[in-house]
Each structure stands twice: as structure tokens, then as C-alpha cells.
Chains A and B, each alone.
Chain A
């Protein structure tokens, strides 16, 4: 009986490290799902510029990296002048509590621009203007957190002519050939969209949000 007891004790001593090992691996895999996505996004953002041999655009595309006013402390007005950007110009920055990172917005859609930030369709209206403002970005970089937006979330867009606040009012999903959310409209709204995440490759589905404009602050001339 003493032998059996000793054998039992030995078995426990041998099995225990394996139990600890499997528990650790299981916990690690579960805990690392979200951080590994974030690390991938950060790596994409950090090294993405290196896909270019030159700092400026290739194929004749001149990309203008404007400094967008971030902490404007001067007077504002709810009416003002819009400053229309040129193609490939950085003209806005999207901020939201739901996003960990600020998203730069370029005017126009181009493969290179999508690698530097979100792109606004040049057929849509400027941020803060009447009509449909349509902005899209890749789901594995700048709009990786778009799916976390909920109805009621606040989105702030800073431009060099003003700061505009939107509130999410609708979550949308549509096929890539379906234009109903990206066409011009009379209603003033902001449409943000990206590809739906698909582990097996690129997706034909798009997800996004429609937001209503809640506040306009045009910068008046003076302190910036």
C-alpha cells in the first residue's frame, strides 16, 4: 500500500508540470488575441512608409503632408469658409474615444494614400459641408477599430478651417458594389466605412457608420 501511495505521489509530481504548462499556454493564447491584432496594426503603421523607396509619392503623385491644427484656442464661429484641398493633400484628422490612434484623412482615393491614412472620396462634400462626407480606410491599419464604434459615440474631425463633431447614428453593412451609402445626399452626414474583417482573405462586404453633424466650429482669423 505504501508502494501504491509512493507511485501515486510520483505520478502527481510528474503530471503537475504538464498541467501548469498547458494552463499557461491556454491562458496566453486567449489573452493575446486582441493585443496581437493591435501589435500587427502598430507594425503596419510604423513600417508602411518603407514600402516607398522615396518619401514622396511615386508615379508622379505629389502628396502634401499639411500640419493639421490640433489645439486651436482662438475664437470660433458656427459659419465660415471651407478650404478645399487638392488631390493627395492631408486635410483632416479623425479622433474618437473609440479609436486608439488619430486617423489622418487625405483628399482623394489612391493606393498610396490608403497606406498613409484614410481617404475621402473627392466626389463627396468637405467635412462640415452640407451633404454626404464619405471617408474610407483599410481595416488592418487606420480603420481597424471602426467596428468598435457604437451608436451615440462621438467623432471629432479637425481640419485647418475648423473642428467638426459628429455623433454615430447608424451602423451599416453593405456589399462593395452597393453604392447607396456613398452617393451624394441632401442630408448632412458623415459616412465612414471599411472592409469587413475576413480571415480567409479580402472581403466583398463593407462595414461602417453613418454619423450626424452635431457641432461646427469654424476657426476665425486670429490665434491658432
Chain B
């Protein structure tokens, strides 16, 4: 260990192993947790649909003085199940885009009840006001229905798929996401190769490899555990200025979930590092005792 010719290369490999361990853990966590199924389960667990429903109601109530269409015309026709289906469809569309690398056009499921409800309101209003149901009337009706769908789409887009797609961010992210399995395997393979190189460098005293791998695991575990703990304990993600409550809830719950998973795995990595070092110390002592008794 004191020889510079083995110490320096071992030190470099140890530093590389720290990063590889952290990256491998991150890839595995993303592969397992960042999926359509898990995202949908998270939105359902956090009751995002009821938040969306409530926000939509507030919006349509606020817009009444501008549009003249009461909130009931919209809200009586839609329910949390419909909202849930739109939110889930958005999530599935986003992950489909991420996997394929191509922008998938989102099409909101039609809601005949909503269209009928708006049409009934317009028809009743026109009849009561003596307004002729001409082309202008039809145009206004179509615009109101389109606007209703657009607004529901916007509120149900809790993971901001449309913004990410519009600005080309999704295409960039999908280049990594679509190859995440390969990248994970590559990271693990490179780690294995580095450990083999470490063994070759320290072939005269193989037990030292336990020390170097242990140090890498310990430090990787430390870097993964303590910053994650800080983020969780300080409720760091709550400080993000996201004014739409449903987006805020979806984003923060996803980030806290990922951070918890990241921290849990790194606690295990930290423990493995400590075990390796204890094993190295024990082996070292046993070898020294054996040498002294042999003498």
C-alpha cells in the first residue's frame, strides 16, 4: 500500500469507482421508478385528480365574468374519473415519447357529456335571449368547447409534458432514457473491469483491493446518503415556485420519492463499504499475526 507505483493507480481507480457506483445506482433507480406505471400510481396515491378538479372549478368560476358561461356548465359534466383518465393518458403519452424519442401528439379523450352540457347552456341562453342560432352562434359554441378541452388538457398536464415537448427538452432527455438499460449494464461492466484492474495492480497483496473497493463504496454511499437526507429533511423541493397545486404536488412527490429511493440504496452501499473495510482490517491483522507466529 505504501508503494507509489500501486498507490497512485489504485487511488485513481477508486475515484472512478465512486462516480461509477453513484451513476449505476442512479440509472437503476430511474429504470425502476421513472416509468409510466409508477408515475400513474404516484398521481393516484396523491389524489392529483381531485386537486385538478378543484382547480378547474376555481378557474371556471373565475372566468364566469369574462366568458358568461357558469362553472356548472363544465363541472356538472366532468368528474374525477374523467380527469384521472386524462392525467393518466398524458403520463402514458409522455413515457411513450421518452421511449421512442419521437414527439407523440396528445389527444384528449372526448367527453360527450361536456359538449352536450355546454351546448345545452348555449341553446337555453339563445332561446331565452331570442338570439338566432346562426353561424356566429355555432362558431362561438365550437370555440367554447375547444377552449374547455384546452383548459382541461392544460390542468391535467401535471408533469408538464406539453412544455417539455414544445421546447425540445423531451427529445434531449429521451436520448438517455431510451437507452437506460444499456447504460446501466455498461456502468456495472466498467465497474467490474476497474475492480479487475485493481486486483491486477495489487496482485501481491490482494486484500488491499478490499480496502480500495471499501473506500469507494463508503464515499459513494456518503455522497448519496447525506445530501439526499438534507434534501428530505429540509423539504427542499417545497421551495420550488410552482403555482399550479397539482403540478407542484406531482413534481414534489416524484422528487421526494426518487430521493428516498436514492438514499436507501446508498445507505446499503455505505454499509457494504464499511463491511469491506472491516474485512480488510480483520484479514490484515490475521495475516500479521500469522507472520509473527511463523517467525
Interface residues of A (CB under 8 A from B): 8-9, 12-13, 16-17, 19-21, 23-24, 27, 42, 45-55, 100-102, 104
Contacts and interface: CB of A to CB of B under 8 A. Distances in A.
Interface in B152-211: 154, 160, 163-164, 166-169, 172, 211
A42 B167 CA distance: 9
B243 A20 contact: no
B169 A50 contact: no
A8 B2 contact: yes
A24 B12 CA distance: 10
B270 interface: no
B19 A46 contact: no
B167 A45 contact: yes
Contacts of B172: 100-101
Tell me the interface secondary structure of chain A in the complex: helix
B11 A50 contact: no
Contact of B15 (A24, A51, A104): A24
Contacts of B251: 47
A101 B247 contact: no
A52 B59 CA distance: 12
**Tier of interface size on chain B:** 35 or more
B163 A45 contact: yes
B15 A20 contact: yes
Nearest to B160: A46
Contacts of A100: 168, 172
Most buried by A among B169, B216, B247: B169
A20 B1 contact: no
Q: Is the interface of B mostly helix, strand, loop or mixed?
A: helix
B176 to A, nearest CB: 12
Given A12-B1, A50-B247, A55 B15 contact: no
A46 B11 contact: no
Contacts of B163: 45-49
A53 B215 contact: no
B216 A20 contact: yes
Given A24-B219, A54-B59, A47 B247 contact: yes
Contacts of A51: 241, 243
B39 interface: no
Contact of A55 (B151, B160, B241): B151
Interface in B7-28: 7, 11, 14-15, 18-19
B268 interface: no
B230 interface: no
Nearest to B244: A50
18 contacts: A12-B1, A12-B2, A24-B15, A24-B18, A24-B19, A45-B163, A46-B160, A46-B164, A47-B247, A49-B163, A50-B247, A51-B241, A53-B243, A55-B150, A55-B151, A102-B167, A104-B166, A104-B167
B164 A55 contact: no
A5 B244 CA distance: 65
Contacts of A13: 1, 211
Contact of A42 (B63, B169, B211, B247): B169
B20 to A, nearest CB: 11
Nearest to A95: B168
The 10 tightest CB contacts between A and B, nearest first, are A55-B154, A101-B168, A46-B160, A45-B167, A50-B244, A50-B242, A23-B15, A50-B243, A46-B163, A101-B167
Contacts of B168: 100-102
